[in-house]
Structure 1
Amino acid sequence: MDERQLRILRELGELGSVTAVAEALLVTPSAISQQLRLLQRSIPVPLTERQGRRLVLTDAGQTLAGSAIEVESALERARRSVGEFLDRPDGEVSVAAFHSAAATFFPLLLRALAGPGTPVPRLADEDVPQEDFPRLTREYDLVLAHRLDHAAPWPDTVTATTLLREPLDVAMPAGHPLAAKRRVTPRDVAAEPWITVHDGFPVLATVEAIAAAAGRRLHLAHRINDFAVAAEAVAAGGGLALMPRWTTRPHPALVLKPLSGVQARRHIDALHRPERTARTAVRTVLKELQEAARTIQAG
């Protein structure tokens, strides 16, 4: 039993023939007859009977048709409620981000949404391997994820909006011999100890590309995912590290040098399930994230 079958029964009680119901609902008479047969199979007593050339409802059919009115009314109320939910400009919106994106985007987002009548952000940090970001869209409305420029695209199960295409630079102490160079090459940095991320995180692939371009293995001295912690380790002489150009806080003891000879750039994308942006509040937050990205790149 479903809404369509109940509506057909209700219309049959008013119009008195399958042909008239088919004309009213803009379908074929055979389609109406099929739905009536399916409905009858789910009810243990007859719903219709013949009176001459007319097909009329039995007492049980009339009772069920009366219930159809209540069902349609309840469904219409439900549709209105869903519509109001989707159109609300000030609903809660959950946003997850990996650490460096969270540190950069979240303050701008909170300031942009501080006024009345705006969405209410619910923020969380989620530092996961690249392949796990799409799964987070089950739990959050929007997920800020990163992947390398040349990596495979995100799966079709999620929609991705690119916020930034951010260069990865080589971080080194300000007094390092390479700090005087405008740019560095893989051969320049290959002999240095390195501070890099754990396996499965995007930046590691660029470190491996540096090794390949230099024709030698790099000494991976330390594994640190948090760029702020890695910056302190670089400043203390622990080695070189790849750092995002825009989404890490400047460190007074470090300099960042562009890298030649290797494609060193990451995407920061906002991932979401397609149905999430049916909500006005989610679309508003996504727009504010795009505005924040422009501010970050310009600043």
Structure 2
Amino acid sequence: MNERQLQILRELGELGSVTATAEALLMTPSAVSQQLRLLQRSVPVPLTERDGRRLVLTDAGEALARAAIEVETALAKARHTVEEFVDRPDADVSLAAFHSAAAAFFPLLVRGGTGPRRPRLALADEDVAQEHFPRLTRDYDLVLGHRLDHAPPWPDSVAASTLLREPLDVALPADHPLAAKRRLTPRDVADQPWITVHDGFPLMATIDAIGAAANRQLDIVHRINEFTVVAEVVAAGGGLALMPRWTTRPHPALAFRPLSGVHTRRHIDVLHRPERPARRAVRTVLRELHRAARTIRDRDAHARSGDTG
């Protein structure tokens, strides 16, 4: 039993013939008859009977036809509710991001997203290994994830678009001897102590590439995921680190130098289930994320242009 079959039964009760019902519903008479047979199989009592040349409803058929009106009314109300939900400009939108992206994007979204007809943001920080970002789309409308430039693409189960292709620079104390160079090579930095992220996080592949290019294993002394903490440890002389150029705040005691000889760039992507942008509020936040990305790139690239050469 389905909505279409109930609609056919209702029209048959009002019009009194299969032909007239078919014309009203833009169907063929054979299709109407087939649907009536399928409906009859799901009901233990006869729904129709012959009255001369006319096909009329039995008492059970009339009862079910009356119920069909209630079903159609309830479904119409449900569709209207869904349409209102999908089209609401001020609906809730949940957004998760890893720490450095959250620090860069969240303030811009909050400042630009106030008003009575604006999406209501629910923000969360989620610092996970790269392969876990797609799983977060079950719990959040939008997820900011990151991967290295040449890493495999995200799985087909999620949709993704790139917000930033962000360079990674070597962070070192401003008074470090290597800070005198405008660019560094893997051999320049291979004999230094290093601060890196934990295993499984995207930047580790670049750390491994630096060691491979220098033909030696890097001396990893600290593992810290939070870049604000990394910056303080580097400034204190705890080692060198790879840090994103645009989504980490400049530090007065640090110098940032580009690294030649290895791929040092990451993608910051926004991930979501394919159906989420059907909602107007989600589409609005997606547009605002791309606008915020342009602001971050232009503002921070200009701020650091003199420091990175």
Query: TM-score, normalised on structure 2?
Result: 0.94
Partner of 2:76: 76
- Aligned partner letter, 1:207: I
Q: After the TM superposition, which of the residue ranges 37-46 and 167-176 deviates more from structure 2?
A: 37-46
SS in 2 for 1:26: coil
Partner of 1:244: 244
1:10 Cα deviation after fit: 0.8
Give the Cα–Cα distance (whole angstroms) in 2 for the partners of residues 58 and 71 of structure 1.
Answer: 19
Q: After the TM superposition, which of the residue ranges 268-277 and 8-17 deviates more from structure 2?
A: 8-17
Counterpart check, 1:289 vs 2:264: no
Counterpart check, 1:178 vs 2:172: no
Within 5 A, what are the aligned runs for 1:183-194?
183-194=183-194
Give the Cα–Cα distance (whole angstroms) in 2 for the partners of residues 73 and 282 of structure 1.
Answer: 29
1:85 Cα deviation after fit: 1.2
Give the Cα–Cα distance (whole angstroms) in 1 for the partners of residues 184 and 39 of structure 2.
Answer: 75
SS in 1 for 2:263: coil
SS in 2 for 1:127: coil
Within 5 A, what are the aligned runs for 1:115-264?
115-264=115-264
Partner of 1:271: 271
Q: After the TM superposition, which of the residue ranges 63-72 and 30-39 deviates more from structure 2?
A: 30-39
SS in 2 for 1:229: helix
Give the Cα–Cα distance (whole angstroms) in 2 for the partners of residues 188 and 27 of structure 1.
Answer: 77
Partner of 1:44: 44
Partner of 1:64: 64
SS in 1 for 2:275: helix
Q: Deviations over 1:4-55 (max 9, x none)?
A: 1101111111222333323332333333223222211221111011122221
How many residues end up aligned between the 2 structures? 299
Within 5 A, what are the aligned runs for 1:84-123?
84-123=84-123
Counterpart check, 1:3 vs 2:14: no
Give the Cα–Cα distance (whole angstroms) in 2 for the partners of residues 209 and 276 of structure 1.
Answer: 37
Give the Cα–Cα distance (whole angstroms) in 1 for the partners of residues 120 and 21 of structure 2.
Answer: 48
Q: After the TM superposition, which of the residue ranges 67-76 and 24-33 deviates more from structure 2?
A: 24-33
Query: TM-score, normalised on structure 1?
Result: 0.97
Q: Deviations over 1:199-231 (max 9, x none)?
A: 110000011111111111111111111111111
Give the Cα–Cα distance (whole angstroms) in 2 for the partners of residues 149 and 29 of structure 1.
Answer: 60
SS in 2 for 1:49: strand
1:297 Cα deviation after fit: 0.5
Q: CA RMSD in A?
A: 1.2
SS in 2 for 1:274: coil
Give the Cα–Cα distance (whole angstroms) in 2 for the partners of residues 233 and 34 of structure 1.
Answer: 75
In structure 1, list runs of 5 or more residues that go unmatched: none
Partner of 2:306: none
